Homo-oligomer: A and B are copies of this chain.
Amino acid sequence: MDQEQEDILKYDQGTFHPGFSVDCVIFGFHANQLRVLLLKMKGADVWALPGGFVFKDEDVEEAANRVLQLRTGLDNIFLRQFHLFGKPDRSQPDFNAKLLRQRQIPFAPNHWFLQRFITLGFYALVEYSRVTPRPDTNSEACEWWDLQQVPALMQDHRQILDKALEALRLQLAYQPIGYNLLAEKFTMPELQRLYETILGKQLDRRNFQRKILAYDILERLDERRSGVAHKAPYLYRFNLEKYQQALEQGLEGGW
Contact = CB atoms under 8 A, between A and B. Distances in A.
Interface in A103-131: 116, 118, 120
A252 B86 CA distance: 30
A195 interface: yes
Contact of A195 (B87, B172, B255): B255
A120 B254 contact: no
A84 interface: yes
Contacts of A254: 172-174, 251-252
Nearest to A54: B86
A7 to B, nearest CB: 23
Instruction: Give the bracket for the number of chain A residues in contact with chain B.
Output: 20 to 34
Interface of A, helix, strand, loop or mixed by DSSP: mixed
A57 B254 CA distance: 40
Interface stretch (A14-22, A132-140, A148-156, A231-239): A14-22
A173 B175 CA distance: 13
Interface of A: 17-20, 54, 56-61, 81, 83-84, 86-88, 116, 118, 120, 170, 172-174, 195, 199, 203, 250-255
3 cross-chain pairs, A with B, having the tightest CB-CB distances, nearest first: A60-B86, A173-B254, A18-B18
11 contacts: A17-B19, A20-B20, A57-B88, A57-B116, A60-B87, A60-B118, A81-B83, A86-B120, A172-B254, A203-B255, A252-B254
